[in-house]
Structure 1
Amino acid sequence: MKILVIQQKMIGDVLTSSILFEALRNEYPNAELHYLVYAHTTPVLEHNPFIDKILHFDENTKKAIQFTSFLKEVKKEKYDAVIDVYAMLGSAITSKYSRASIRVSFKKWYTKPFHTHHFSRNITSQTNAGPAIEKRLRMLEPILKNIPKEIKPKIYLTEKERSNAKESLASAGIVDRKLLLMISVLGSTDSKTFPFKYLAEILDLIAAKTDAQFLFNYIPKQKEDALKVYELCNAHTQKSIFLKSFGHDLREFLALTSHCDALIGNEGGAVNMAKALNVPTFAIFSPGVPKENWSMYENGTTNISVHIKDYHPELFDKYSAKEVKQKSKELYNLFQPSYFEKKLLNFITPYQ
């Protein structure tokens, strides 16, 4: 059995879809399992024991000549099954061109002719894994006899990566016995980023109540925005922010996060990665992102999320989903930290 999974999207999506490989490997221990992703998402897949080969799709591959060549390479692999989680026209063409006898994807009118099995994205979650996990596992029905109800995404770090991160933290002056929090400072876009002034208020609150130390999740080109949050914090909080200690690449960030007591901040890839490292998370959802779709493994203790809809559901009766996305910044400005202050402090209490 030779199977290709396609997930050409963001890091969180790629990590979430990686659960399919564990389920496939459990039933087909000798299968050859390949994963087609964008190259920049590969770090979350390194050392994954269930994946045999990672294929990359990049901007050049989208060009007609390169795409034709790419399709020929896919065809040569002679896959028995293709699971197209991405479910876009390009991935549907790849699926069809593979000539696999089983081609699975989500139901869309314009990709329907390319696949043999189709599943709706709409699902009522049966477990706290959430619909993002369950709807992916459901795609395995044409291939597996025994489909697990849930599988948690996992990230695999080496001991060397973790020890290097620990040494880096120690050399920066971070005290091992004190609370260490990774802060997801930025969302994937401006409209998905919690207002800086509110995030600074949250950090001031935590610093006033605990002896927490803070790391910021950002990359060098985002340093200016990270500094804006830092400068909005009061002097007491600033002393506890280790701005120079950050992951210079994704694997470094993962290793640093693995030593943190929790991750707090903007919902997105960083939250999904922390969960895959078994690091507790407190996620703040953008108004335009339905919490019910991405609140994976919520349990009210180690994984918690908040959304303005939790406090002002009437706002979402007034606007369509499209209008909510357009008004995301406006709605975010209404989402004051005081709404979830108590929930946040209760979340960090066990880790002090």
Structure 2
Amino acid sequence: MAEFKRILVTKLRHHGDVLLTSPIFTTLRRYYPDAQIDVVVYAETADMLTLHPAIDNVLVIDRKWKNLGVWQHLKKELGLIRHIKNQHYDLLIHLTESMRGFWFAQLGKIPMGVTFENNNRKNLFFWCKKFQKQVKRIHLRHTVECHLDTLRALGIQPAIEERRLILIAGDSAEKGIKDKLYAAGWQNQPYVVVHPTSRWMFKCWNTKDVAAVMEYLNSQGKTVVLSAAPAEEEMKMVKELRTIVKTPFLDLSGTMSLKELSALIQHAEMLFGVDSVPMHIAAAMQTPVVALFGPTGDKEWGPWMVKSEIVTSHNHPCRPCGQAGCANSHICDCLVHLPKSQVIEAINTIQVRQ
């Protein structure tokens, strides 16, 4: 097995995708305790990995650079590449198939590269020269294990415990979320988090059914904390819930940072939600989770190494289709017609398992 002194990992995707890379760093740190281990992510996803004990530096690409104009944008990009070159990395693990990884390797003069197979690039000489090891994605393999396959290709075998997700909220987020809970009327009682929204709203369940579940949880003596991102579509659903739900709940939707949301979920008895980043946060925090899946694949994206109940339709063999709703209509029959009774049964089951 090769010895590496400086390692760069890239994951230029969304929040949940980035969090699912966290076991890579834990494993790398065991094999290379004295190495410099850095990561490049989009700026808005950085909080998924900051404070990770195995990561030395989180480098960011800010999508807002594009708003600076061509020359300023180019200056920012070249500045990052210059920084990468100056670090003298000897290994690049590029966890997407974008060309940006090639430029990091080429201009940053990184001698060894690992990435995933890409049919559009596998015959390109310059691509293969920079990425000597290309890993095939296995159908129905969880994304965490796919990420770890890039290490296996190097002869690095992750231990079972190293495969757990790692997310550190931090002291500031801990204090911030307590302050917000107290301001909302919390009195230190246990609570469950309901996060019914996603940046892709076609993944979400019917508002009236979410309201019914919130009322059911209340009837079971649970304090419900509602959360959502401040995005317009998510807050529209929250507004409807405020109108429909007839029982008390604490509403923190649209008010939290990612780290504060992580702290909120960390101390919850349970999370109820959909296939979205809070579900992965719950897995990292070892908070039991009930998650609804429609068109996306629960085998690849389900809650990882945590007590969980996944709820899917029994009447739609077409799922998971991977589309943005049926025929990309943004309406998913497999979610629209998902029975409320099936969801409540899953909630009861997870509570018994606790």
Q: What is the TM-score normalised by the length of structure 2? A: 0.84
Shift of 1:298: 5.7
1:213 is the counterpart of 2:218: no
Tell me if the contact between 1:266 and 1:284 (Cα under 8 Å) persists in the aligned partners: yes
Q: 2:178 matched to which residue of 1?
A: 166
Shift of 1:151: 0.9
Tell me if the contact between 1:215 and 1:246 (Cα under 8 Å) persists in the aligned partners: no
Q: 2:150 matched to which residue of 1?
A: 139
- Which runs of 5 or more structure 1 residues have no equivalent in the other structure? 126-130
Tell me if the contact between 2:192 and 2:223 (Cα under 8 Å) persists in the aligned partners: yes
One-letter amino acid matched to 1:29:
P
1:307 is the counterpart of 2:316: no
Shift of 1:255: 1.7
1:196 is the counterpart of 2:187: no
| Secondary structure of 2:147's aligned partner | helix
Tell me if the contact between 2:269 and 2:287 (Cα under 8 Å) persists in the aligned partners: yes
Q: What is the TM-score normalised by the length of structure 1? A: 0.85
Counterparts of 1:240-279 in structure 2 under 5 Å? 241-244=249-252, 247-279=255-287
How many Å separate the matches in 2 of 1:79 and 1:350?
Answer: 46
How many Å separate the matches in 2 of 1:219 and 1:297?
Answer: 22
One-letter amino acid matched to 2:177:
A
- Which runs of 5 or more structure 2 residues have no equivalent in the other structure? none
1:294 is the counterpart of 2:297: no
Q: 2:8 matched to which residue of 1?
A: 4
Change (3 A) 1:265 1:28: same
What is the RMSD computed on CA atoms of the aligned residues? Answer: 2.7
Q: 1:128 matched to which residue of 2?
A: none
Count of residue correspondences: 334
Choose 87-96 or 329-338, whichever is displaced more: 87-96
Q: 1:120 matched to which residue of 2?
A: 136
Work out which of the residue numbers 166, 179, 199 in structure 2 matches 1:154: 166
Deviations 1:70-91 (A, max 9, x none): 3333233221110111222223
Q: 2:117 matched to which residue of 1?
A: 107
Tell me if the contact between 2:228 and 2:253 (Cα under 8 Å) persists in the aligned partners: no
One-letter amino acid matched to 1:116:
Q
Tell me if the contact between 2:235 and 2:254 (Cα under 8 Å) persists in the aligned partners: no
Change (3 A) 1:291 1:146: closer
Runs of 4+ aligned structure 1 residues displaced above 6 Å come to none
1:340 is the counterpart of 2:339: no
Deviations 1:57-80 (A, max 9, x none): 122556572434433332332211
How many Å separate the matches in 2 of 1:306 and 1:12?
Answer: 19
